[in-house]
């Protein structure tokens, strides 16, 4: 990594330094006082017994056009900093390039952080290119096919883009396929294979590199590093303070994060959309520290993991509220970034039989899962949360029952979904859980809307509206009004559907809930479509698609595309309608049913379109729709 980069930089700039490029490896230095002598030997300078060697070096290098490379300074950072400061103070043309896991902190220092190799796309990834290059040293005619490149990309991701790790993985191609290497890494393979003896790398195994990094830490830093390995996919300072260092003050937590970042144990990630620093740890380094803490103190590790689970339980609870308001975009990113942390929290709650904590996390993440289309994950965790035979009828239990009914309907089992919804109503009514009383009835209305008995959906929808209104909960009142609007639309009462949809849209806008806005807009589009006002319908559906696309709300994107397809069909634009229905179909999860809003179920619309155009033209339009760009739809 760093050493090779320094050598490459020197080779490209050698013409700019007529007095030479001097490479000094410091990895074998064990005594700080040996640094000056090592550098002097590298530049061909004899020692003067009557002068301090650092002064002799400074005079010798002053005003020369020399590039001095000091490689591997992290274990002798302080004496290196003194040397660099001294030689730089005597001349203006000398340049010093330092490789180190820690910054020297000298005046005029410019830091360049060496990022992991890219692992975004198989065709452009640096990690894939390095793997293939090193693999050809083992198998000279190696030419990976597209499928193999995806396995190589996953190898790079498993190794967090570490050049050394990628090289060590490539060595195994002599006896394994790339798929087998990927599988072994996913199973926790420790890359202990040595590089060829001719290699110039300081560390010949990944384990050596990790041990070297940890060796540079002080006792407090090492304990902090091992404690922070409880975080699976990064954390911010507040999480570190609450989970890893609950007895420390804010300044102490900040100082240790700065120290571990300076020694390359942690990386700092920032984004324009969220300036809050997020700390991550390379997976191999985290695995090393995690094993140490588990072996040294199993009880202490369990206590940390429990704090971790409870912290992410609170995070999930807050996210469920924030996703309904003006900060929804930030909170979508927060949950996106903490998938592994939340997953580990649920696993711990399940394995320690803390089902109340598990239900709290599951019930609060369900909205996010619905938005993102994570139906399999939702149904799996909901089933596990409800598996405790000794369950108490808490508010969280009622909430999970409500979502269980909803996701059961989404996956196509309407009868079972109706049964679960009635159970949720019984629990919510028995304990007067107002929010769940309204939401359970709303979900029941949604479920009954999918049956042939459309009138039956009205009563629970009306009850949901009344309960939310009495409770003074504006958001649930808007949500229940939208549910009731769908029920009225199903019975053909477009006037009530329009009034309720308009009321909910106004409330969602006042609350800055664009997810709710998107749903209400699509209802109003369906109403306008039913009444024949196609321009109004298209405008509403377009806005619904825009909001849903910006949020990444998969279900509403599908609904809006299907509404636009129905509008195009009514207008006689058959090819456009097929493309839009195909685009909606491409977003469908294969095991998920559509909870319809428009007048016709999607399969009926598709069959109507199929009958209106020759088979080859239908196939071409459908294929085009599978590749359609939502931005193009929005701009049309």
Q: What is the pLDDT of residues 18-59, one digit of tens each?
A: 888 888 888 777 777 788 888 888 888 887 777 888 888 888
What's the rounded mean pLDDT across residues 263-292?
82
- Segment 323-366, tens digit of pLDDT: 988 888 889 889 998 999 999 999 999 999 999 999 999 999 99
State residue 67 phi and psi, 5-degree precision: -105, 115
If one counts every other C-beta atom within 10 angstroms of the C-beta of residue 530, the result is: 17
* Closest residue by Cα to residue 304 from 367, 232, 358: 232
Residues 69-113: tens digit of each pLDDT:
888 887 788 888 988 888 888 777 888 899 887 888 888 888 887
Q: What is the pLDDT of residue 255?
A: 94
CATH number for 2-99: choose from 3.40.50.150, 3.30.470.10, 3.30.370.10, 1.20.1050.10: 3.30.370.10
Predicted pLDDT at 1: 67
Average pLDDT for 528-537: 95
Q: Give the pairing of strands 67-71 and 278-280.
A: unpaired
Q: Are 83 and 61 in contact (CB under 8 A)?
A: no
Average pLDDT, the chain: 86
How far, CA to CA in Å, does 208 sit from each of 211, 285, 339, 440, 468?
5, 11, 30, 57, 61
Q: Tokens standing for 457?
A: 């959906």
Distance from chain centroid for Cα 129: 24
Q: Quote the longest CA-to-CA distance of the chain.
A: 103
Q: What confidence tier does 207 reach under pLDDT thresholds 50, 70, 90? A: low
Q: How confident is the model at residue 188 (pLDDT cuts 50, 70, 90)?
A: low
Distance set, CA 412 to CA 62, 447, 561, 589 (Å): 79, 10, 21, 12
d(CA 97, CA 10) in angstroms, rounded, equals 9
Give the integer Cα–Cα distance in Å for 606 and 399: 36
Cα 92 to Cα 65: distance, rounded to the nearest angstrom: 9
- Alpha-carbon gap, residue 322 to 16, rounded angstroms: 56
Element of type H or E holding 162: none
What is the rounded CA–CA span in Å between residue 357 and residue 349? 6
Q: How do beta strands 67-71 and 21-25 pair?
A: parallel
> Using CA atoms, how far apart are residues 328 and 368, in angstroms rounded to an integer?
10
Least confident of 119-128, 355-364, 412-421, 553-562: 119-128
Strands 267-269 and 278-280: antiparallel
Q: Please state the pTM of the whole predicted model.
A: 0.74
178-192, 346-360, 485-499: which has the minimum mean pLDDT?
178-192
Tens digits of per-residue pLDDT, 368-415?
Answer: 998 888 888 999 999 999 998 776 899 999 999 999 999 999 888 899
Lowest mean pLDDT of 236-240, 274-278, 292-296, name the range: 292-296
Residue 502, pLDDT score: 97
- 564 pLDDT higher than 90: yes
What CA–CA distance (Å, rounded) separates 468 from 568? 37
Candidate from 243-257, 322-336, 415-429 with smallest mean pLDDT: 322-336
Dump pLDDT digits (tens) for 475-491.
999 999 999 999 999 89
The pLDDT of residue 209: 63
Q: Express as a percent the part of the chain with pLDDT over 90.
A: 44
Task: Please identify which residue in the block is written with the tokens 């896991």.
Answer: 101
Confidence of residue 192 (pLDDT cuts 50, 70, 90): very low
C-alpha to C-alpha distance for 481 and 29, rounded to whole angstroms: 73
pLDDT at 195 > cutoff 50: no
Q: For the chain, what are the domain ranges?
A: 2-99, 126-207
Cβ atoms of 113 and 275 within 8 Å: the answer is no
Residue 304, both tokens: 């940390």
- 581 contacts 396 by C-beta, under 8 angstroms: no
- The tokens 């689970």 sit on which residue? 309
Q: How far apart are CA 581 and CA 623, in angstroms?
A: 11
Residue 106 corresponds to which tokens in the numbers above?
A: 């000298």
Cβ neighbours, 10 Å, residue 156: 29
Q: Which two tokens stand for residue 7?
A: 């050598």
Comparing C-alpha atoms, which of 453, 451, 460 is closest to residue 484? Answer: 460
- Compute the Cα dihedral for 77, 80, 82, 87 and give only its sign: negative
In this predicted structure, the answer to whether residue 598 has a pLDDT above a threshold of 50 is no
| pLDDT for residue 346 | 96
For residues 520-539, average pLDDT: 95
Residue 150 has pLDDT above 50, yes or no: yes
pLDDT band at 595 (very low <50, low <70, confident <90, very high): low
User: What whole-number percentage of the chain has pLDDT above 70?
Assistant: 93
Q: What are phi and psi of 280, to 5 degrees?
A: -130, 160
Using CA of residue 593, residue 594, residue 595, residue 596, what is the dihedral sign? negative
Q: By C-alpha distance, which of 548, 547, 566 is closest to 604?
A: 566
């Amino acid at each position: 990594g760093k050493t090779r980069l320094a050598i490459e930089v020197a080779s490209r700039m050698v013409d700019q330094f007529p007095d030479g490029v001097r490479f000094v490896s410091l990895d074998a230095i064990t005594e700080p006082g040996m640094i000056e002598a090592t550098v002097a030997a590298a530049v061909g300078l004899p020692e003067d017994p009557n002068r301090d060697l650092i002064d002799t070096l400074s005079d010798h290098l002053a005003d020369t056009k020399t590039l001095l490379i000091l490689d591997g300074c992290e274990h002798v950072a302080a004496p290196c900093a003194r040397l660099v400061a001294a030689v730089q103070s005597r001349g203006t043309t000398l340049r010093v390039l330092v490789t180190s896991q820690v910054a020297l902190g000298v005046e005029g220092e410019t830091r360049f952080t060496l990022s992991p190799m890219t692992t975004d796309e198989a065709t452009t990834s640096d990690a894939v290119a390095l793997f293939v290059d090193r693999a050809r040293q083992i198998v000279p005619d190696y030419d990976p096919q597209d499928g193999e490149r995806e396995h190589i990309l996953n190898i790079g991701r498993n190794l967090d883009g570490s050049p050394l790790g990628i090289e060590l993985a490539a060595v195994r191609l002599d006896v394994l396929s790339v798929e087998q290497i990927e599988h072994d890494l996913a199973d926790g393979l420790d890359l202990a294979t040595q590089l060829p003896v001719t290699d110039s790398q300081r560390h010949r195994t990944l384990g050596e590199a990790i041990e070297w990094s940890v060796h540079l830490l002080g006792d407090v830093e090492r304990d902090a590093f091992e404690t922070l390995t409880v975080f699976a996919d990064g954390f911010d300072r507040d999480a570190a303070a609450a989970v890893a260092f609950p007895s420390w003050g804010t300044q102490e937590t900040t100082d240790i994060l700065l120290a571990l970042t300076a020694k390359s144990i942690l990386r700092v990630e920032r984004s324009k959309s969220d300036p809050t620093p997020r700390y991550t740890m390379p997976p191999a380094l985290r695995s090393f520290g995690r094993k140490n803490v588990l072996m040294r103190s199993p009880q202490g590790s369990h206590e940390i993991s429990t704090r971790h689970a409870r912290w992410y339980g609170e995070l999930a609870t807050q996210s469920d509220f924030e996703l309904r308001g003006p900060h929804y975009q930030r909170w979508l990113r927060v949950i996106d970034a903490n998938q592994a942390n939340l997953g580990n929290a649920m696993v711990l709650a399940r394995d320690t039989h803390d089902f109340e904590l598990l239900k709290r996390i599951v019930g609060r993440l369900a909205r996010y899962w619905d938005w993102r289309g994570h139906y399999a994950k939702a149904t799996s965790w909901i089933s596990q949360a409800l598996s405790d035979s000794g369950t108490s009828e808490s508010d969280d239990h009622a909430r999970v029952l409500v979502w269980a009914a909803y996701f059961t309907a989404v996956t196509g089992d309407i009868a079972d979904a109706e049964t679960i919804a009635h159970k949720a109503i019984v629990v919510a009514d028995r304990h007067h859980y107002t929010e769940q009383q309204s939401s359970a009835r709303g979900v029941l209305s949604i479920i009954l809307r999918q049956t042939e008995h459309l009138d039956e959906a009205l009563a629970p929808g009306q009850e949901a509206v009344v309960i939310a209104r009495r409770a003074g909960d504006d958001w649930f009142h808007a949500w229940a009004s939208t549910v009731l609007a769908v029920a009225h639309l199903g019975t053909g009462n477009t006037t009530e559907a329009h009034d309720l949809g308009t009321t909910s849209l106004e409330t969602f806008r006042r609350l800055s809930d664009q997810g709710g806005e998107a749903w209400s807009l699509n209802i109003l589009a369906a109403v306008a479509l039913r009444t024949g006002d196609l321009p109004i319908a298209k405008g509403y559906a377009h806005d619904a698609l825009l909001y849903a696309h910006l949020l990444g709300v998969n279900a509403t994107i599908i609904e809006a595309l299907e509404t636009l397809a129905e509008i195009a069909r009514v207008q006689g634009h058959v090819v456009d309608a097929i493309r839009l229905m195909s685009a909606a179909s491409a977003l469908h999860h294969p095991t998920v049913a559509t909870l319809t809003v428009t007048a016709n179920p999607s399969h009926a619309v598709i069959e109507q379109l199929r009958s209106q155009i020759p088979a080859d033209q239908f196939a071409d339009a459908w294929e085009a729709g599978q590749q359609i760009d939502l931005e193009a739809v929005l701009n049309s």
